[in-house]
Amino acid sequence: MGVRVKTGHTLLAATLGLGMAFGAQAGKYPDITSLPDLKINAAKAELGKRLFFDRRISGDAGIACSDCHKPENAYSHPDALSPGYPGNGHFRNSPSVINAAHKKVWMHDGRLGTNLNDVTREMLTEDYIMNMDMRVMQERAKQDPKYVQMFKDAGYGEPSNGSIRKAIPEYLKTLTSVNAPIDTGKMSASAKRGQKLFKGKAGCIQCHNGPLATDGKAYNTGVPENFDIFLDPMNHHAFIAFAMFQGIEDYMNLKRDPGYYNITMDAADTGKFVTPSLRELKYSAPYMHNGMIKSLYDVVGFYNRGGGKDSRKDSRLKPLKLGKQDIKDLVAFLESMSGDPLTSGKHVWKGPYPAEYPVIENWTQVKN
């Protein structure tokens, strides 16, 4: 529904910026340091929390952000391919949104590079995500006295679709890693050995660097296609609608996810996806843009074989010849980047939602 903005060009600029900052000195990559603190407005974040768990902000009131970004899965979804809005499937894995507020580039193909307000808009309005006409959304919020109060307390005045798209990003800022061993320094010996491999022999740091363990750039690692995109027609029709909207030619015959090609329309970018953050992996299986790899052992195994099969695969990926213990250590290191689950009332809205919209009394006399 509504207007979807193509922001490929902004992204390209953002990515180039990052590339210049980090990539210039070959061999030297920024460390995986702690994330900076974010300034958060508590009242706005609290409002965003209630919205994130509220199904009424989808077209048929059937699906909430939290149905695809589940707290117990680090705010990702345990299915390889995300569920879709009712009546639709999806064609990508639902990523963790923990630490999303620290990113500059979003979505597996990196097609959004502006801000979380735009990402939220895309989630709300996309046909196969929440299919929300934002005018209906605004009027629903205005019909719920609890929201009317919360918007006021947050300094937004009356509920509006604009402030909904501000409050949700404010809440997303509260979803940041807490007590991850890599931040507290309480890493096991195995994890420490894994960290050495990560920065050295295994070469992971070339792409997974900086506080989020991502350089924000797109690479082709040769992850195999998930055939369920095409074998399940509900997923396939969402994919067709997506590819059609992105302006990809011959989208009816497409048998693979084009990835970063969406943005550049340069064949060389086919099959590239943005390096994901490696934080909170412990809870966010399965992995990769299409959920094709089930466990962290399997991911490390994948890299150990030099990645997958693709004529355009990145030349950095070579068989690593890691031993059994090396693999264990790498997995231990990956796990040390996961903190406490964010599943308490601090992050999860546990309050009820009204079963019905109360009537506005004295309707003929009050202003709409």
Partner 1 sequence: MSNVIQTPTLLAAAITTALLAGCAGQTTSEAVAAPAAEKSMAAAPMAMAGPAPLAPLGEPPIPADNLQSPAKIELGKILFFDPRLGGDASTGCSTCHEPDQGWAWAEDFSRGYPGTVHWRNSQTIINSAYFPRQFWAGSASSNESQARGAARGGVAGNGEADIMEARLRVIPEYVERFREAFGTQWPIIRDAWRAIASFERTLVQRDTPLDKYLLGDKSALNADELKGKELFEGKAGCIQCHNGAITSDQDFHNIGIPPNKRWEEDGLAQITFRFEQYAKGQTQEGYRKAKSDWGFYYRSKNAWDKGKFRTAPLRYLKYTAPYMHNGVFYTLEEVVDFYDRGGFDEDGRTTLFPENKSSLIKPLGLTDDEKDALIAFLESMSGEEMLMDKPAMPEYAPLFTLAELEAAQEAK
Q: What mask, x for binding ligand HEC by CB under 6 A, covers residues 155 to 184?
A: -------------x----------------
Reduce the DSSP state of residue 61 to 3 states and report it. coil
Q: How far is the CB of 209 from partner 1 (least distance, A)?
A: 27
Pick from 300, 332, 337, 342 the residue near ligand HEC by CB under 6 A: 300
Contacting ligand HEC within 30-89 (CB under 6 A): 63, 65, 67-69, 82-85
Give yes or no for residue 261 binding ligand HEC (CB under 6 A): no
Q: How many CB atoms lie within 10 A of CB 197?
A: 20
How far is it, in rounded angstroms, from Cα 356 to Cα 226? 40
Nearer to ligand HEC, 86 or 358 (CB): 86
What are the Cα distances from residue 103, in Å, to 11, 113, 196, 359?
Answer: 12, 9, 25, 41
Task: Check residue 281 and report its DSSP letter.
Answer: G
Residues that bind partner 1 (CB under 8 A): 1, 56, 59-62, 85-88, 127-128, 131, 133, 135-136, 139-140, 142-143, 222, 224-225, 227, 230-234, 236-238, 240-241, 244-245, 252, 255-256, 271, 309-312, 356-360, 363-364, 367-368
Is the CB of residue 328 less than 8 Å from the CB of residue 334? no
Pick from 7, 125, 221, 336 the residue near ligand HEC by CB under 6 A: 221
Give yes or no for residue 11 binding ligand HEC (CB under 6 A): no
**Short-list 300, 355, 308, CA closest to 144:** 355
Query: What burial class does residue 353 get, using C-beta atoms within 10 Å of its C-beta: 0-12 exposed, 13-18 middle, 19+ buried?
Result: middle
Q: What mask, x for binding ligand HEC by CB under 6 A, covers residues 91 to 120?
A: -x-xx-x--x--x--xxx-------x--xx
315 interface partner picked from ligand HEC, partner 1, none, CB below 5 to 8 A per type: none
Structure-block tokens of residue 5:
């903005």
Give yes or no for residue 203 binding ligand HEC (CB under 6 A): yes
Structure-block tokens of residue 272:
């590239």
Give yes or no for residue 206 binding ligand HEC (CB under 6 A): yes
> Is the peptide bond preceding residue 286 cis, with omega within 30 degrees of 0?
yes
Q: How far is the CB of 165 from ligand HEC (least distance, A)?
A: 9
Cβ partners under 8 Å of residue 4, min gap 6: 122, 125, 126, 245
Q: What is the CA radius of gyration of the chain?
A: 21
Reduce the DSSP state of residue 273 to 3 states and report it. strand
Pick from 29, 156, 239, 303 the residue near ligand HEC by CB under 6 A: 303
Structure-block tokens of residue 124:
């709300």
Task: Check residue 93 and report its DSSP letter.
Answer: P
Which residues here bind ligand HEC, judged by CB under 6 A?
Answer: 63, 65, 67-69, 82-85, 90, 92, 94-95, 97, 100, 103, 106-108, 116, 119-120, 123-124, 129-130, 168, 202-204, 206-208, 219, 221, 223, 273, 275-276, 278, 281, 284, 287-289, 299-300, 303, 314, 316-317, 330, 334
